[in-house]
Amino acid sequence: MVVLAAASIAILFVMAMALARALKADTVYDRILGVNMFGTKTVLFIAVIGFLSGRPDFLDIAIVYALINFLGMIAVLRFFEYTSTEEDANK
């Protein structure tokens, strides 16, 4: 249990680093990558917390969150694919 508690603290640290990457990125695609990484680590964090609390139904919540994260990233990337300008292509 101590190892999983340490792992959840490490996951929180990595989530903070992913959020910092999303906020400080230069391009839109780097920001999207940071947000996607944050979402992936959130799924892992939900699964670990569910295991620590002895509630296996948290895994279902984590899977649904992963699906929403995936579909959201596809939607955002499609949006930027069709709204990119000549200036964005030169970066």
Q: Which domains does the chain have, with CATH numbers?
A: 2-89 (1.10.287)
pTM score over 0.85: no
**61 CB-near residues (< 8 Å, 6+ apart):** 46, 50
Helix, strand, coil proportions of the chain in percent (round to 5)? Answer: 85, 0, 15
Q: Tell me the pLDDT tens digit for each residue of 32-57.
A: 999 999 999 999 999 999 999 999 89
Q: What is the pLDDT of residue 81?
A: 82
Average pLDDT over residues 63-87: 87
The per-residue pLDDT for 83 is 82
Is 66 within 8 Å of 77 (Cβ atoms)?
A: no
CA pair distance 30, 16, nearest whole angstrom: 16
- How far apart CA 84 and CA 9 sit, in angstroms, is 38
